[in-house]
Chains A and B, each alone.
Chain A
Amino acid sequence: MTGNERSGRGLDPVRGSEAAATAGPRWSLDLLADLHAGALDPEVEAELRSRVAADPQAREVLAALDATVDELAALPPVPMPAEVAERIDKALAAEAWEREASRRGPAPAPVEQLPSPPPPSSVPVERPAAPVVDIEAARQRRNRRLGWGAGLLATAAAVLGLVFVNLPRDTGGSPQPGAADDGAGSPPLALSEGDVRAGKVPVNDVLGARDYGPLEGPERIRGCLAAAGITDPGEPLGTRTVQLEQRKAVLVLLPTGEFTRYRLVVLGDECGPDKPQVLSDTVIGRR
């Protein structure tokens, strides 16, 4: 809308021109800006508009205000940078963990006072009864080993209703002490290929873990994933040394963009940016 269009509505051009001729321009920039912003009383606005209509200078001011508004509206959108989004996600994850921890404490949770979530018709609201590992025991182990992150994510998974598979720890070969260089001595998870393919992985023990084992660190993990064509995997939700059919490997839990699905990639211990060595690549979860 231009200033002329604005000033052309509901005017009395005769009166306006008389005012302009006899009293001069009885307006100020601020007054016109108030008119432009709709900040005046209707009767005042009507009177001023009639004067403005006959005053080219005033119409120029209104047009200048329109141009200003147009330029402000044309400023480009500013999407949140990925690093800020990631930082906020982490802070919220920590918050979620604290909340969950307090819910499990003696204090009653305030849930009952709140609006209930819409119960999805096809999805059980109650947590599944079995087979679920002892979350408390698992959390204590994890928190000792990994700090808050693992506990948080595992707790989140528990609330989400993940069915954890309680794998025997000593199947598939003896643990190799020292294989987990960031795992504070926790042995590699022993997995069979069949378990991984079937999604029978103790997600609880992988979420939040930063155990890179033979692959040293996140950079090499990224290199291995990229070499395998997984170029934009998102931040791993957990990394854990595993023993896959007697073979030392690293399991990486990746987000899929869907809350209820994870991608499990098992990398061989010799992989690198130039050497893809994906032993298994599976999506678990449910749409």
Chain B
Amino acid sequence: MAITPVILTRVTAAASSDADLIAAHAAGDPHAFSELVRRHRDRMWAVALRTLRDPEEAADAVQEAFISAFRAASSFRAESQVTTWLHRIVVNACLDRVRRRQSRPTVPLPEAGPGEPASPRDAMAERETRLAVQDALAGLPDEQRAAIVLVDVEGYSVAETARLLDVAEGTVKSRCARGRARLAKLLGHLRNPDAGANVPDDAAMRRREGR
């Protein structure tokens, strides 16, 4: 197969860092942003799908976010991590949608919906557990779910999550704490889930949210 060097390129995208790609995008390289998207889209999708729980809405949110990021690249501050910046735009797009739809009923995540492949090797029990966890997640208040999805499911650090959600680290910890407590009940990990409620809460000991 003949390979003719009739094409010249500005940037070898595959070998570039995220920051290089953003810079190349800002300078006019039409492929740089696509490469950036390709690198990060799975994780963005996972966050969006689990935050919004509706594949259509998740797709809309991620698309909207990437378009915003495309346009906003000129305002990108080089000192912040590209990935954090990009992820924050996605998270914001999701949270905006969450806020807008507060009064609307949510659509449950399909059992084997987009990107949630059912592996034939999975034992039934594992699958049931997974579904139970997804259902339980769906039952959390939106702010708690966003924090849990980012920290516990997607593995972002508390500090990263705080930057993504634009809240204090203490707020992330508190939301995770509330969310995990609720999930532990919903998932049946607590032998006596109501026991905690009968014990006087030493509120004075509790750290204030957001501190």
Cα–Cα distance between A111 and B173 once the two chains are bound (Å): 40
Instruction: List A contacts of B66 (CB < 8 A).
Output: 88, 91-92
Q: Does A159 contact B (CB under 8 A)?
A: yes
Q: Does B50 contact A (CB under 8 A)?
A: yes
Binding site secondary structure of chain B:
helix
Instruction: List B contacts of A95 (CB < 8 A).
Output: 67, 70-71
The answer on a CB contact under 8 Å between A116 and B207 is no
Closest B residue, CB atoms, query A100: B30
Tell me whether A110 and B178 are in contact in the complex, defined as CB-CB below 8 angstroms, given that A128-B8, A159-B29 are known contacts: no
Q: Does A130 contact B (CB under 8 A)?
A: no
The answer on a CB contact under 8 Å between A28 and B201 is yes
Q: Does A226 contact B (CB under 8 A)?
A: no
The answer on a CB contact under 8 Å between B67 and A91 is yes
The answer on a CB contact under 8 Å between B30 and A75 is no
The answer on a CB contact under 8 Å between B28 and A111 is yes
Q: Does B10 contact A (CB under 8 A)?
A: yes
Which residue of B29, B35, B41, B200 contacts A80 across the interface (Cβ within 8 Å)?
B41
Which residue of B6, B55, B195 contacts A200 across the interface (Cβ within 8 Å)?
B6
User: Within residues 225 to 278 of chain A, which ones have a CB less than 8 A from any CB in chain B?
Assistant: 258-262
Q: Does B124 contact A (CB under 8 A)?
A: no
Tell me whether A111 and B201 are in contact in the complex, defined as CB-CB below 8 angstroms, given that A34-B177, A160-B7 are known contacts: no
Tell me whether A39 and B114 are in contact in the complex, defined as CB-CB below 8 angstroms, given that A73-B155, A120-B12 are known contacts: no
Cα–Cα distance between A78 and B113 once the two chains are bound (Å): 9
Q: Does A38 contact B (CB under 8 A)?
A: yes
The answer on a CB contact under 8 Å between B23 and A115 is yes
Contact with A along B64-102 (1 / 0, CB 8 A): 001100110110001000000000000000000000000
Contact with A along B37-68 (1 / 0, CB 8 A): 10001101110011000010001001100110
Most central of A44, A80, A124, A163 by chain B CB within 10 Å: A80
Instruction: List B contacts of A63 (CB < 8 A).
Output: 189
Tell me whether A96 and B196 are in contact in the complex, defined as CB-CB below 8 angstroms, given that A61-B190, A261-B7 are known contacts: no
The answer on a CB contact under 8 Å between B196 and A61 is yes
Q: Does A181 contact B (CB under 8 A)?
A: no
Instruction: List B contacts of A160 (CB < 8 A).
Output: 7-10, 29-31
The answer on a CB contact under 8 Å between A159 and B130 is no
The answer on a CB contact under 8 Å between B33 and A161 is no
Instruction: List B contacts of A69 (CB < 8 A).
Output: 152, 180
The answer on a CB contact under 8 Å between B153 and A75 is yes
The answer on a CB contact under 8 Å between B191 and A60 is yes
Query: What distance in Å separates the Cβ of B1 from its nearest Cβ neighbour in chain A?
Result: 5
Question: How many chain B residues touch A (Cβ–Cβ < 8 Å)?
Answer: 89
User: Within residues 1 to 57 of chain A, which ones have a CB less than 8 A from any CB in chain B?
Assistant: 25-34, 36-41, 44, 47-48, 57
Which residue of A87, A111, A165, A198 contacts B27 across the interface (Cβ within 8 Å)?
A111
Most central of A69, A88, A110, A197 by chain B CB within 10 Å: A88
Contact with A along B17-33 (1 / 0, CB 8 A): 00110111011111111
The answer on a CB contact under 8 Å between B117 and A115 is no
Q: Does B176 contact A (CB under 8 A)?
A: yes
Which residue of A26, A89, A118, A282 contacts B34 across the interface (Cβ within 8 Å)?
A89
The answer on a CB contact under 8 Å between A117 and B20 is yes
Cα–Cα distance between A44 and B14 once the two chains are bound (Å): 50
Q: Does A167 contact B (CB under 8 A)?
A: no
Query: What distance in Å separates the Cβ of B177 from its nearest Cβ neighbour in chain A?
Result: 4
Q: Does B125 contact A (CB under 8 A)?
A: no
The answer on a CB contact under 8 Å between A39 and B20 is no
Query: What distance in Å separates the Cβ of A105 from its nearest Cβ neighbour in chain B?
Result: 14
Tell me whether A30 and B9 are in contact in the complex, defined as CB-CB below 8 angstroms, given that A41-B207, A68-B184 are known contacts: no
Cα–Cα distance between A124 and B167 once the two chains are bound (Å): 45
30 A-B residue pairs with Cβ-Cβ distance under 8 Å, sorted by A, are: A26-B200, A28-B196, A28-B201, A29-B196, A30-B181, A44-B205, A65-B189, A73-B153, A74-B130, A75-B134, A76-B130, A80-B45, A80-B114, A81-B55, A81-B114, A84-B62, A91-B66, A92-B70, A93-B34, A117-B23, A118-B16, A120-B12, A124-B8, A128-B8, A156-B31, A160-B9, A160-B10, A165-B6, A258-B14, A286-B7
10 nearest CB pairs, A to B = A29-B196, A199-B4, A64-B189, A78-B115, A39-B173, A156-B30, A117-B24, A114-B26, A80-B45, A72-B152
Q: A31-B201, A282-B1, A283-B2 are in contact. List 17 more A-B contacts (CB 8 A).
A: A32-B196, A37-B174, A39-B207, A65-B184, A67-B189, A75-B134, A78-B46, A92-B66, A96-B30, A110-B74, A111-B28, A115-B26, A160-B29, A161-B10, A199-B2, A260-B12, A284-B6
